Amino acid sequence: MRILLVLIASFLSMLVSFSEISAAEFLSGREVTVAADEIWEGDLYISAQSVNVAGTVKGDLVVFSQALHVTGQIEGGVFAAAQQVLLEGECARTCRIACQAAEVGAGAQLGGDLVVAAYSLEIKQDAVISGDLIYAGFQAMLKGEIEQDVWAAVNRAELLGQVKQELSITTASSHTPDWQPLGQFWPGTPLVSIPQVKPGLTIDAGATIGSKLIYHSPEEANIAPQANITGPIEWIEPEPPLKPENENLNYFWQQVKRFLTILAMGVLMIVVCPHTTGGIVEQILQRPIASFLAGLIAVPLAVVLSAIVLALIVAVPMAFGWLHFDGLAVAGSLIASLAAVLYLGSVAFYFVFGAAVVTCITLGCVVFSDQRMTSRWALIVMLGFGLIFYIVLTCVPYLNVGIIAAAILFAFGGIFLWCMGKVLKGGQHENSREAAGS
């Protein structure tokens, strides 16, 4: 968890740095090459399929590509998102990389930290990282020199080089199966070769750790007797899984919690909008077939409208993000966004809770057919009794899927018919008033 938080903080700081551009150059294309005799003042942003930097960048290097190869000198930091990243040059500050495979080549000099999220990371012999190494991925092979700490969370790792401070790492079991290398899926000649790393944690002969070794693993690490570890070795085993309690008792309590949740949501619906809830139930009772058929129309319609509203919320600000609105336009946009969020929330609530509540009240009305829905208390009583039948029916395997689907169709069909009835009744009322006035 600590490693993930550090990674998130590092990449957030990368985003913050983007907003502080003083002087920057932007390059794009299929292949972008910065020649060895080129010098770029300030930050350099590159978006291309293949990027090769052999020159000097007197600022940060920010790259989005499939392949990045750095052999030159970067006086700032490196921010890269790619499939393959190969660092063989010099970098004065922190390198932050997100990719499938990363390699720090022999002779590379990284003056700051190296923060990587990848499938595979290899640090070649004679490569030097002056800061910390923070890595999250599947595998790591460390042959170079890391002058500060190493924090990593991986499936497997192998240390052949030097870590001059603490090594804190989380690995999986040494019996995990090997994974198929990614390189065979890349078109053309791979820029980075993915090494074969032994499962678990391996500290080879000749490896050096200048401080303590802390590793979280289900099995003891494979540490060669010739390995030089200055500090103590701390092996932290994962906590054993908790013994399962009585499954039947757990299932019973889950259904009790489900009963109480739906009951609470139903009481909320009845208290806030009793006439609407009662009207929907009456439509289902009086016109069950029409409600079911209307649900076949209302459910897809609600999904389509929700998708359109959600798309508008995302697309409109992106489309007009570069424009400067006045105060009235901004207020109107906020009101429209609030209305859209309320609509989406209402639809989601009705899908998750409303359909079950309406179905339960309907079942209760079927049981108490001689009672009329004249008050909120009557609706709540019918909800409670109907909810018992609903919980029992939805506990039956296979039948539960049909019950839930039918509840959604009936509920959405009922509210559709109720709304249409209100609209038609309002239109008839207006026509009668016009006729009386004439």
Dist. CA 41–CA 111, nearest whole Å: 19
- Average the pLDDT over 108-133 and give the result: 95
- Average the pLDDT over 382-390 and give the result: 88
- Average the pLDDT over 385-394 and give the result: 88
- pTM, full prediction: 0.56
Q: Is 213 exposed, middle or buried (0-12, 13-18, 19+ CB in 10 A)?
A: buried
Strand 56-58, strand 39-41: pairing: parallel
Dist. CA 19–CA 3, nearest whole Å: 25
CB–CB of 46/62 below 8 Å?
yes
Per-residue pLDDT, 147: 95
- Average the pLDDT over 418-437 and give the result: 64
pLDDT band for position 82 (cuts 50, 70, 90): very high
Dist. CA 18–CA 28, nearest whole Å: 17
Dist. CA 22–CA 20, nearest whole Å: 6
Q: Quick count: other Cβ atoms within 10 Å of Cβ 138? A: 19
Q: Which residues on neighbouring strands pair with residue 136, listed in sequence order? A: 117, 153
7-65 residue pLDDT tens: 444 444 444 444 343 457 899 889 999 999 999 999 999 999 999 999 999 999 999 99
φ, ψ of residue 48 to 5 degrees: the values are -160, 170
b/e per residue, 20-42, with b = 16+ CB within 10 A? eeeeeeeeeeeebbbeeeeebee
Q: In which element (H, E) is residue 104 found?
A: strand 101-104
Dist. CA 274–CA 280, nearest whole Å: 10
Residue 327 vs residue 359, higher pLDDT: 359
Give the angle subtended at the CA of 286 by the CAs of 276 and 418, to the nearest 5°.
Answer: 30
267-309 residue pLDDT tens: 998 888 888 888 888 888 888 899 889 889 988 988 888 888 7
Per-residue pLDDT, 230: 92
pLDDT band for position 347 (cuts 50, 70, 90): confident
Per-residue pLDDT, 314: 58
pLDDT band for position 201 (cuts 50, 70, 90): very high
CB–CB of 290/432 below 8 Å?
no
The two structure tokens encoding residue 294 = 């209307």
Per-residue pLDDT, 211: 94
Q: What share of the chain is helix, strand, coil (3-state, %, to 5)?
A: 45, 25, 30
Residue 409 vs residue 370, higher pLDDT: 409
